[in-house]
């Protein structure tokens, strides 16, 4: 395999940069940092207006004629400017799931709305008592005539404060086995009985707890068959762990850390990068970044072929999240005492972005499937290891 890197988006970089210069407001990145909301609604509106959200989607469901590579280059450019698009990422996961398992009526209702920027979906999987074991959900949904009543609580419903819907996993049959009796619903966030409570995290992002008290949704909000929600979840989790939104493939830690090391003076008159050990450590981070890119490209290639990259997505997510935590721990070690200076502190290296990213990386091995669960899936389904081992 040839691992030589080529910039397949090179033809679109200048146009993407021009789009960002004309449409991205300089204060948006700081607003995301200070508010903890990793989705800027106004930028989302502009991306939809120019057909960037619809790039690569079928025309019958609202797709645009914008080149998907240009759209990827735009998301790259936004990411390089420090902007997150978490709400769009989760929306793409749900939209791709609907494309796979939704009814034709749901596809024609929800997909065009998402690509117009009118529908944005947060994920309502985890609960206070279950964490990553989403199949143990206790939130209940009972049929009431031609609608459903939902009662329960969800945790870590990130960006729900700016989303139009939550993709809620609920138990519809309490007598069924753990992975049976589950169903998924698209619940509007303006529903009577739905409350959103912010939770401030170590990494600075504001996530949410969402509470459902006799929240009524029509039968058309049900995605997939009744009591067969786990089959739908398996599709949704593939997209969460492996594909997600057409976000940036550009990982910049090694670049940013090398830039700091080349100008960071030492008492002996040399710069940090002159230390062979420091240069080697940055090089190892760069290698891991390339491996993550290779995993991501493999997953995207499988999706482009029409495959569902279940194992590959789990492998990508496991490697990238574990590597991210190692990288930022290594980074603070390289920076020394100054590494613990937070954004806003005087003399913080690179304005404190390394310290902030270190805190934010803590959750990466938890959301989208904890590393322990991903290892079990890979061991059982890819390596065909036994589920139970003898004592």
User: Do 116 and 126 have their domain in common?
Assistant: no
Residue 165 to residue 120: CA distance in whole angstroms = 6
End position of a domain, from candidates 120, 140, 166: 120
32 located within any domain: yes
The predicted-structure confidence for 343-360, as pLDDT tens digits, reads as follows: 888 888 888 888 988 998
Q: Where are the alpha helices (DSSP H) in 24-85?
A: 28-35, 41-49, 68-80
Examine the residue annotation and report whether 376 is marked as an active-site residue of this protein.
no
User: Do 75 and 103 have their domain in common?
Assistant: yes
333 located within any domain: yes
Residue 320 to residue 324: CA distance in whole angstroms = 6
Confidence band, pLDDT 50/70/90 cuts, at residue 129: confident
Confidence band, pLDDT 50/70/90 cuts, at residue 243: low
Q: Report the chain's mean pLDDT, rounded to a whole number.
A: 89
Angle at 325 between CA 322 and CA 328, to 5 degrees: 145
Query: What number is the average pLDDT over the span 232-244?
Result: 74
Which stretch of DSSP H or E encloses residue 60?
none
Contact 238, 374 (CB under 8 A): no
User: Do 337 and 265 have their domain in common?
Assistant: yes
The predicted-structure confidence for 268-324, as pLDDT tens digits, reads as follows: 888 999 999 999 999 999 999 989 888 888 887 887 777 777 788 889 889 999 999
End position of a domain, from candidates 64, 86, 120: 120
Give the C-alpha distances (Å, rounded to integers) separating 226 from 67, 79, 166, 214, 357: 38, 39, 18, 19, 41
User: Domain residues for 310?
Assistant: 251-382
Contact 110, 95 (CB under 8 A): yes
The total domain count for the chain is 3
Q: Catalytic residue among 27, 42, 228, 240, which?
A: 240
Instruction: Give the distance, in angstroms, between the CA of residue 318 and the centroid of all CA atoms in the same chain.
Output: 13
Residue 380 to residue 95: CA distance in whole angstroms = 28
238 located within any domain: no
User: Do 221 and 318 have their domain in common?
Assistant: no
Selected residue with higher pLDDT from 17 and 252:
17
The predicted-structure confidence for 101-121, as pLDDT tens digits, reads as follows: 999 999 999 999 999 999 999
104 located within any domain: yes
User: Do 136 and 116 have their domain in common?
Assistant: no
Query: Is residue 201 left, alpha or beta, with left meaning phi > 0 and alpha meaning psi from -120 to 50?
Result: beta
């Amino acid at each position: 395999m040839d691992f030589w890197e080529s910039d397949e988006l090179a033809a679109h970089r200048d146009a993407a940069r021009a789009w960002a210069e004309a449409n991205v407001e300089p204060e948006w990145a700081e607003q995301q940092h200070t508010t903890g909301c990793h989705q800027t609604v106004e930028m989302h509106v502009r991306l939809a207006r120019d057909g960037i959200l619809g790039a690569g989607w079928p025309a019958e469901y609202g797709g645009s004629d914008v080149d998907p590579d240009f759209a990827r280059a735009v998301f790259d450019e936004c990411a390089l400017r420090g902007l997150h698009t978490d709400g769009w990422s989760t929306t793409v996961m749900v939209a791709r799931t609907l494309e796979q398992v939704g009814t034709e009526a749901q596809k024609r209702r929800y997909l065009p709305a998402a690509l117009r920027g009118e529908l944005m979906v947060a994920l309502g999987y985890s609960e206070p008592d279950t964490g990553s074991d989403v199949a143990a959900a206790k939130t209940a949904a009972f049929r009431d005539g031609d609608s459903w009543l939902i009662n329960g609580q969800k945790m870590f419903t990130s960006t729900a404060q700016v989303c139009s819907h939550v993709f809620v996993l609920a138990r519809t049959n309490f007598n069924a086995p753990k992975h049976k009796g589950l169903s998924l619903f698209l619940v509007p966030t303006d529903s009577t009985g739905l409350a959103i409570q912010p939770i401030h995290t170590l990494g600075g992002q504001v996530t949410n707890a969402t509470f459902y008290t006799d929240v009524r949704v029509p039968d058309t909000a049900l995605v997939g068959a009744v009591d067969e929600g786990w089959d739908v979840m398996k599709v949704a989790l593939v997209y969460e762990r492996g594909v997600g939104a057409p976000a940036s493939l550009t990982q910049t830690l090694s670049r940013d850390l090398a830039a700091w090391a080349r100008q960071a003076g030492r008492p002996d008159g040399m710069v940090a990068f002159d230390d062979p050990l420091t240069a080697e450590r940055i090089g190892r981070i760069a290698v891991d970044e390339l491996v993550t890119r290779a995993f991501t490209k493999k997953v995207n290639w499988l999706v482009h072929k029409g495959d569902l990259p279940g194992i590959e997505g789990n492998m990508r997510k496991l490697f990238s999240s574990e590597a991210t935590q190692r990288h930022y721990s290594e980074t603070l070690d390289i920076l020394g005492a100054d590494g613990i200076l937070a954004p806003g502190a005087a003399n913080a290296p690179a304005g404190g972005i390394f310290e902030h990213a270190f805190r934010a990386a803590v959750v990466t091995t938890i959301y989208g499937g904890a590393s322990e669960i991903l290892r079990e899936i890979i061991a059982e389904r890819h390596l065909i290891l036994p589920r139970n081992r003898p004592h």
